[in-house]
A and B are shown apart, each in its own frame.
Chain A
């Protein structure tokens, strides 16, 4: 019944659209004069050869198992209506050329770029925006978060003509938050879902999840998926005559012609591929890689250069997540003990060489006034933890040094994590936790299946870091709607009526100061609940790159996450002449000066 109402409502709007008049007194903004962050010297062409550790579980961008790392190449980095300037953080045009705020504090009007095209050549029109709601509200996509978000946050999308729309939110918001919710919309290709079986009449294919598992949708981004060798590689190709270059902020970006991602299941082997010149860039974020490993012959001979650039990204929630649905972890005192017995500081100092830094709060940082002022993550205090465990009934020390309660139950939890490279980190936590009589067992579930494992809430403790938007998100992590359900981000299964109330208030609050206060309240509640031991963060990117990869002098932006990610800021390019020269020099055994480029522009 509800579905029918939505459908009829939608059709009502499309019908009304023709008669709907654009308000006359709108103040159109287009922010065309912000500084550029790419270089005029950039050259187009070449192939960026990169790798992925495991083949993505799906090429859908929504639905089960879609929220993986690979999605950023297909969706997260694709153009939205507007985006934030990566340095000044002002809104700049994306798929929209200009925008205007409505008087009701709920509506934003957008003029669309008429040049915009899908990668299959179809024009991007207002209908593709109207289709967003059909797409994300459909039950067929099996994505409760999206169903909820696109129903409770977004009210309607109104079409005035093919290239003018308005997006209306459910609740009043200040301009910045209004833009975050509306401007981040990315159209969905309506024409791509033209001929589908749709028995429940919600506008989406009934077997969407299975049917589109390995069918990539057309994109508005510069790169589309060109070739797929299942389990082996995925190749992206630059859209011919890409519409995006009509937007000045995209000029001299996305320079490579092709991107090939080969599946290499082992980082060490990938590194060897890189050092042989079979990959163009390689991440050296890990301290061991940067300090010890990046000193082989190609580095010494200056064929491979090293890049260290600082950024200032918002940090999402992360650390050691405790699943309160598991026995013992429902006990607040035990959770508090675990937080005090988890030695992240020591791990950063000893295992990570002090290169990383501690996340000040479990919910992340860098959100301005949304964050608690100067939070201090709990220090490692085994004595305090031991007292807490004793208070929770674990007052005996077993024959192996691990605490037990009177029933003989050992104080032991398994930590689930996803990568073998993290084993040393968890092993460190494990050894330190013993000092409080707490045992961590290590549960390595490799690659993308570990995230699935956590989404399905099979873990006791999860070692996990999440990304973040420019304002913190709480509903997905702590609302009772998501607790004890598979495929949601409530990794702790923790929720309470008070927290629910706060989260809903946070979502609907219009006044910025109040909203930020609620956000701080929620963070305080999360701290008090001791459900996440705050983890670490990495305030920089480090890469090794072959000398034919070039970039502007001010390479990093505030928001550059991975310098040589071809779909992100992507202001680097491949100099094919330099490549030829380098290969020739290598053949002759000629060496260059070794280079380490450090960009400290955004170092705090």
Chain B
């Protein structure tokens, strides 16, 4: 694929803005890693050797205790299994556990003290546990995945709707434009929080539904920008000449106008992601978000606020939120600067 030299220039300029570029790399790495978080943070073993056979519990259906000679038919507790195998003499049985041998849901009541437990490498709770003994690190990482997944999906969907609407409004103008504008004005007046509250009391908020609700109320923002941009571009000479050459409407929109409005979309995207993460966290914090016990930053923040005497909870989650939001903002800033035709107006 050959890139437009202008695009190459923009990418190069983006790379030059170091903190944005590094933030981008870091965030993408984190996101990719979080997609395979099961390999690092999990209560299931990576690999079990038992009586000459090798098992990979993470990649298979659950094994029950009886599969490994234990006396229960619930899912195997691999941490205990590991201890048991290690205690056995002259046996080839082994268990390889992930880096953090806890998942985001199970509760560690060790009997000696009540949760929240402070960070401790002996118990392998590297960031401690929350008030019901769940590993904070595990919940942070899985919560990150949820938050990013939510933010990206919401953004993509609401942009698809917003861009199409905005483009159509700008391009066709007239009555359609007028009516759509009024509709959006009215629609954006619907109190989002109340709608969420009502919906949450009626149905269980699953992830998909939650994305949908957010999309329904957040596609309007970009329409205004797109409308203006399309208006402007549609009046330009190159569009006029494309029309004169007999280009079809879809061709004009997709080949000529959209690429020229890309700047706007790419620039706004990171900020939308940031605001989506904030929205989800805020809703979870209020208890109006995803169904518990889904790991979520908002819920951790809520716990942290209620338990300031267990500072590891609030500290880890605040640090995470702040760093992710800062990184996203750096990226946004760098993108904006890179796409700015006036090279020397950089935000520094």
Residues of A that sit less than 8 Å from B by CB: 268, 288, 291-293, 350-351, 353, 382-383, 386, 397-401, 414, 420, 423-424, 426-428, 430-431, 434-437, 441-446, 449, 453
Contact = CB atoms under 8 A, between A and B. Distances in A.
A444 to B, nearest CB: 6
Given A292-B309, A401-B62, A431-B105, A386 B74 contact: yes
Nearest to B75: A401
Contact of A383 (B73, B131, B204, B306): B73
B5 interface: no
A427 B292 contact: yes
Given A288-B131, A444-B292, A398 B306 contact: no
Interface in B244-283: none
A397 B65 CA distance: 12
Nearest to A268: B306
B326 interface: no
B305 to A, nearest CB: 6
B132 A397 contact: no
A383 B114 contact: no
Contacts of A398: 61-62
Contacts of B293: 423, 427, 430, 442
Given A350-B107, A442-B293, 11 more contacts: A293-B309, A382-B74, A383-B72, A386-B73, A386-B74, A401-B62, A420-B287, A427-B293, A434-B74, A435-B72, A446-B287
Nearest to A420: B287
* Of A268, A430, A444, A453, most B-chain CB atoms within 10 Å: A444
A426 B132 CA distance: 10
10 contacts: A350-B107, A350-B114, A353-B114, A397-B64, A398-B62, A414-B204, A420-B287, A431-B105, A435-B75, A446-B288
Interface in B182-224: 200-201, 204
Given A383-B72, A399-B61, A442 B292 contact: yes
B22 interface: no
B193 to A, nearest CB: 13
B291 interface: yes
A449 B201 contact: yes
Q: What does DSSP make chain A's interface, helix, strand, loop or mixed? A: helix
Contacts, number: 76
B181 interface: no
B107 A428 contact: yes
B213 to A, nearest CB: 16
Nearest to A352: B114
Given A431-B106, A437-B74, A424 B62 contact: no
A216 to B, nearest CB: 26
A268 B314 CA distance: 15
Interface in B84-109: 105-107, 109
Interface in B142-161: none
B74 A435 contact: yes
A441 B291 contact: yes
B302 interface: yes
Given A351-B132, A383-B72, A431-B106, A443 B204 contact: yes
Nearest to A421: B306
Nearest to A267: B306
Given A441-B204, A449-B201, A400 B131 contact: no
B289 to A, nearest CB: 10
A423 B292 contact: yes
Nearest to A271: B306
A420 B286 CA distance: 9
Contacts of B64: 397
Contacts of A445: 200-201
A434 B131 CA distance: 20
A420 B302 contact: yes
* Of A424, A434, A436, A453, most B-chain CB atoms within 10 Å: A424
Contacts of A382: 72, 74
Contact of B62 (A399, A430, A431, A453): A399
A453 B198 CA distance: 12
A400 B309 contact: no
A427 B62 contact: no
Given A442-B291, A443-B291, A350 B109 contact: yes
A383 B71 CA distance: 10
Contacts of A446: 201, 287-288
Nearest to B132: A424
Given A427-B132, A443-B204, A453-B201, A434 B75 contact: yes
A430 B104 CA distance: 13
Contacts of B62: 397-401
A424 B306 contact: no
A430 B302 CA distance: 20
Contacts of A428: 107, 132
Nearest to A287: B114
A442 B204 CA distance: 9
A402 to B, nearest CB: 9
Contacts of A443: 204, 291
Contacts of B291: 441-444
Given A428-B132, A431-B107, A445-B201, A268 B75 contact: no
A291 B292 CA distance: 26
A401 B61 CA distance: 8
A436 B62 CA distance: 13
Contacts of B306: 268
Contacts of B75: 401, 434-435
Question: What are the 10 closest A-B residue pairs judged by CB atoms, nearest first?
Answer: A424-B132, A435-B74, A401-B62, A350-B109, A399-B61, A401-B75, A442-B292, A268-B306, A427-B293, A420-B287
